[in-house]
């Protein structure tokens, strides 16, 4: 513990229009938006500006994924190629350093502006009430500041099982990946959600690690359609990943410096395995402890997160954004929430945030891009819909890249308007194909305008255009010719049938 040193109470308390507690993506974005309104803003960050979005999360892991993909390309040209751990670590560290430097220099320059709207304190922010925040600095000194508004963006951390000792060295979470000093010879990943599958993909692609994935369900990524998960599972297994389907973890212990774990399957059978490392990926939990929520009267919801109504808490001048709500733990969502909260504080009246058209990318092999609903969601909600599906093997760009493993799938309403309900793209450059469709969902438009646009050639996004042309019965390739590559069907009342005029 630091010795506590109280700043003299005779000093005039500094006052701000907005205090942001947490300098990750949500808080940083919110603070920058407040400057646009000419407001005096203070950011309080306990560790490092950028948060998990830069250091332990998105940027670091996606840089690692990008390099793993390059390793696979290198192996296609030279099968004996093996990546060097130090080289890979250097690439990740350089990416983190570059982003960190950008954000830090930006922050420093803004603090030196003549109008001086932005202020920064490194320390722990603690609510004394709804307008007073206490800052505890690294040297133990305490400072109190006042504010008109507060934005809480303290983020989240990996959830740790109560019955497993996570030392972040042998048994680790995503936070502990940076502690690795070499490629593990073997690793088990606990949790077959997006993050678990991404790390299983990364380490299996790098080729130095025998990866196992514990999946308590019958297939990985159970929230996605089966045709999506089939491709990902096939490619994981192709690169040596062992999938423990329908398995429940009975125990996981550190034994002689390695990990021993026992699984029980649905048929009652049990097995014991030994690996070098374990990666626990069972979700995230909000950082809400020790920030004084109770002093300000801020309520939690039934999930133990901060309750909010369109980013506003039950205390009218206190707002919240990002992972601390665990509404949707994505950087793009957190940044949008942070900016939205600030507009609600200082700007004109705006529409509530909509989460219906969130574009997401799953960094798997191949990558998966998603927006809106998938098929199983539509069926669960009883929404009659049409589905059009186009194989990557019909796309000129995919053929040129020699990356034809994947598909485009668009789901529309089963009416003449054919409004887009959702889209999934599995394959190379999938993320580049979804934003136009996301816009159509956002504006509740049909498909004709996008179908008639001139798309660049050759490009992956031409697959989107061809899907829409199929729905309009004017595609270049006819579904009744390439029945295995192009599919159109209607789903209603749990029954899916081919669209006759397209398949006959």
pLDDT at 51: 84
As to burial, measured by CB atoms within 10 angstroms (0-12 exposed, 13-18 middle, 19+ buried), residue 259 is buried
Query: Cα angle at 118 between 310 and 29, to 5 degrees?
Result: 35
Q: Averaging pLDDT over each range in 43-57, 226-240, 475-489, which range is the top one? A: 226-240
Within 10 Å of residue 482's Cβ, how many Cβ atoms? 15
Domain residue limits, the chain: 12-59+89-157+285-346, 171-282, 366-503
pLDDT, mean over the chain: 92
Q: pLDDT tens across 150-205, in order?
A: 999 999 999 999 999 999 999 999 999 999 999 999 999 999 999 999 999 999 99
477 and 401 Cβ atoms separated by less than 8 Å: no
Does the pLDDT value for residue 484 go beyond 90?
Answer: no
Give me the pLDDT at residue 69, please: 94
Q: Cis link prior to 366 (omega < 30° from 0)?
A: yes
Determine the pLDDT at residue 326. Answer: 67
φ/ψ region of 493 (left if φ > 0, alpha if ψ in -120 to 50, else beta) reads left
The pLDDT value recorded for residue 137 is: 93
3-state secondary structure of 311: coil
Beta-bridge mates of residue 277 = 187
pLDDT of residue 251: 96
User: What is residue 294's predicted lDDT score, i.e. its pLDDT?
Assistant: 96
Tell me the three state secondary structure of residue 360.
strand
Does position 438 have pLDDT exceeding 70, yes or no? yes
- 171-282 shares the fold of 12-59+89-157+285-346: yes
Question: What pLDDT was estimated at residue 493?
Answer: 86
Lowest-pLDDT range, 4-13, 68-77, 201-210, 262-271? 4-13
pLDDT at 74: 93
pLDDT of residue 340: 97
pLDDT above 90 (res 280):
yes
Model pTM score: 0.91
Q: What is the mean pLDDT of residues 295-302?
A: 94
Q: 2-16, 75-89, 150-164, 178-192: which has the minimum mean pLDDT?
A: 2-16
Q: Which two tokens stand for residue 378?
A: 């539509």
Q: Which helix (H) or strand (E) holds 76?
A: helix 58-77
pLDDT attached to residue 500: 67
Mean per-residue pLDDT, 402-409: 95
Q: pLDDT above 70 covers what percent of the chain? A: 96
- CA 168 – CA 156 distance, rounded (Å): 17
Across the range 42-47, mean pLDDT stands at: 94
Question: Exposed (0-12), middle (13-18) or buried (19+): which is 206, by Cβ within 10 Å?
Answer: buried
* Nearest in space to 196 (alpha carbons), one of 223, 163, 169: 223
Q: Which CATH superfamily is domain 366-503 in?
A: FAD/NAD-linked reductase, C-terminal dimerisation domain (3.30.390.30)
Q: Does the structure show a pLDDT above 60 at 11?
A: no
Q: How many helices (H) and strands (E) does the chain have?
A: 13, 25
Least confident of 144-153, 228-237, 334-343, 412-421: 412-421
| pLDDT beyond 90 at 356 | no
Q: Comparing 1-15, 72-86, 397-411, 481-495, which segment has the lowest mean pLDDT?
A: 1-15
Q: What is the pLDDT of residue 503?
A: 54
Report the C-alpha gap between 277 and 256 in whole angstroms.
12
CATH of domain 12-59+89-157+285-346: 3.50.50.60
Average pLDDT over residues 467-483: 89
pLDDT for residue 23 = 93
What is the rounded CA–CA span in Å between residue 327 and residue 321? 9
Could you tell me the CATH superfamily of domain 171-282?
FAD/NAD(P)-binding domain (3.50.50.60)
Inter-CA distances, 122 with 73, 142, 154, Å: 43, 12, 13
For residue 9, pLDDT over 80 is answered with no
pLDDT score, position 255: 96
pLDDT higher than 90, residue 44: yes
Residue of 161 and 327 predicted with greater confidence: 161
Q: What's the token pair of residue 286?
A: 């909000």
């Amino acid at each position: 513990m630091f010795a506590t040193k109280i700043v003299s109470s005779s000093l005039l308390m500094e006052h701000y229009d907005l205090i942001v507690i947490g300098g990750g993506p949500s808080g940083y974005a919110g603070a920058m938006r407040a400057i646009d309104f000419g407001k005096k803003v203070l950011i309080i960050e306990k560790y490092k500006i950028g948060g998990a979005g830069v250091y332990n999360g998105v940027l670091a892991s996606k840089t690692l994924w990008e390099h793993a993909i390059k390793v696979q390309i290198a192996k296609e040209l030279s099968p004996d190629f093996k990546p060097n751990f130090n080289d890979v670590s250097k690439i990740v560290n350089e990416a983190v350093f570059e982003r960190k430097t950008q954000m830090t220099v930006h922050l420093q320059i803004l603090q030196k502006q003549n109008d001086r709207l932005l202020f920064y304190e490194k320390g722990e922010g603690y609510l004394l009430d709804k307008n007073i925040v206490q800052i505890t600095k690294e040297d133990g000194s305490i400072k109190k500041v006042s504010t008109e508004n507060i934005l809480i963006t303290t983020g989240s951390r990996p959830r740790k099982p109560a019955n497993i000792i996570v030392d972040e060295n042998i048994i680790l979470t995503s936070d502990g990946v940076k502690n690795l000093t070499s490629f593990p010879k073997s690793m088990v990943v606990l949790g077959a959600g997006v993050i678990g599958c991404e790390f299983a993909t990364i380490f299996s692609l790098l080729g130095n690690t025998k990866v196992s994935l514990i999946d308590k369900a019958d297939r990985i990524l159970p929230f996605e359609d089966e045709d999506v998960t089939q491709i990902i599972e096939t490619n994981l297994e192709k690169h040596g990943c062992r999938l423990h389907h329908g398995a429940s973890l009975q125990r996981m212990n550190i034994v002689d410096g390695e990990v021993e774990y026992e699984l029980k399957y649905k048929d009652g059978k049990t097995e014991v395995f030994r690996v070098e490392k374990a990666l626990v990926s069972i979700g995230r939990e909000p950082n809400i402890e020790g920030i004084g929520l109770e002093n300000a009267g801020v309520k939690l919801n039934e999930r133990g997160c901060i309750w909010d109504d369109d980013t506003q808490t039950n205390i009218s001048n206190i707002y919240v954004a990002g992972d601390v709500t665990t509404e949707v733990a994505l950087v793009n969502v957190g940044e949008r929430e942070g900016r939205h909260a600030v507009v609600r504080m200082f700007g004109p009246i705006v529409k509530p945030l909509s989460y219906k058209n969130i574009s997401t990318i799953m960094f798997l092999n191949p990558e998966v891009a998603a927006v809106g609903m998938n098929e199983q969601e539509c069926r669960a909600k009883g929404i009659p819909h049409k589905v059009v599906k186009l194989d990557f093997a019909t796309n000129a760009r995919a053929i040129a890249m020699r990356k034809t493993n994947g598909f485009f799938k668009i789901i529309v309403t089963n009416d003449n308007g054919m409004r887009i309900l959702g889209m999934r793209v599995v394959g190379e450059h999938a993320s580049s194909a979804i934003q136009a469709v996301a816009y159509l969902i956002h504006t509740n438009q049909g498909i004709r305008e996008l179908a008639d646009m001139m798309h660049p050639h050759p490009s992956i996004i031409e697959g989107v255009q061809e899907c829409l042309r199929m729905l309009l019965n004017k595609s270049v390739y006819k579904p009744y010719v390439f029945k295995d590559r192009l599919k159109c069907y209607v789903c209603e009342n749990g029954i899916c049938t081919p669209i006759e005029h397209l398949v006959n």
